[in-house]
Amino acid sequence: MSIEARAFYRSGPDHRQGQVSSFALIRRQFDFRSIEIGRWVTSAERDRAAELFHDALCDLMLILQGPEALISLRGSLALQYGSGGRPGVSAHYAPSQRSFSLAKNAGPGSIAHEWFHAFDHYIATKCFRGTPSGMFASSAWLANAQSIPHPLNDSLMRCFKAILLQPTGDQPSVLFKNSAQMDKQLGQLYYSKPEELCARAFEAFVQDAPLTNHFLVKGTKTSLEAERGLYPQGEQRERINCAFGDYFGRLGRALGREV
């Protein structure tokens, strides 16, 4: 089913007061570096996707308690819809291009995961010294890279610890163990990569927010991956949500003071 014919549940406020959205409006509001629409996207698909993207990005801004500059990573992030993706992959973040791509007929719920990849990549050089250009902050933390002292960075490190380690700090977390076991079964290295663990943990944090948007995030509670323990559960999920809530609350307040 094409995107213009699909309905995605959300419970958030009316950000647009009934006004028509467009990707040009999204770019102006959030100051994305660029927005590219694929040549095979019809005008109806483009217009419907703009509405869904606009609501999802505004909902994410509310959940993270931050301004538009946070969503576009200070204007450094590019968006592509129906263009620039990978064959067979519904959504993809390309570190070399700092670009987030969503396939034309992608399933719902991809935005939160891919946005966190973009954030994780963007923030690496703000948290650590001497990291390679393609490294994610979560990977740098696990590799014991030299951190840059700052209260915001300390708060983000607590997020990584809650995701990747047991509360004692000396053993891998349940989420990490479940993900490593799945990778072993499949003969791959994907689910247990720190950037993937943290993106899925961020998805869970966003889905647990009072505001619901299935185009933004879906599947952290009732999907096959969730049943296999590839999303945080129980007490660990609560700790992660608290850590993310503290971090993004602090970050949003700091960014708000700059506006």
* Digitized pLDDT (tens) for each residue of the chain, 259 residues in all: 455 546 788 888 888 777 789 999 999 999 999 999 999 899 999 999 999 999 999 999 999 999 999 999 999 999 999 875 555 567 889 999 999 988 877 666 889 999 999 999 999 999 999 999 899 999 999 999 999 999 999 999 999 999 999 999 889 999 999 999 999 999 999 999 999 999 999 999 999 999 999 999 999 998 999 999 999 999 999 999 999 999 999 999 999 877 5
Give pLDDT tens digits for 61-86. Answer: 999 999 999 999 999 999 999 875 55
DSSP 7-73: ---B----TTTTPPP-HHHHHHHHT-SEEEE-TT--HHHHHHHHHHHHHHHHHHHHHHT--HHHHTT
d(CA 147, CA 125): 9
| pTM of structure | 0.94
Phi, psi of 147 (to 5 degrees): -80, 155
Q: Is residue 210 within 8 Å of residue 200, measured between CB atoms? A: no
Q: Looking at residue 149, what DSSP letter applies?
A: P
Sorted by sequence, the CB contacts under 8 Å of residue 248 that are 6+ apart come out as 64, 65, 66
| pLDDT attached to residue 1 | 46
d(CA 204, CA 244): 10
d(CA 37, CA 172): 41
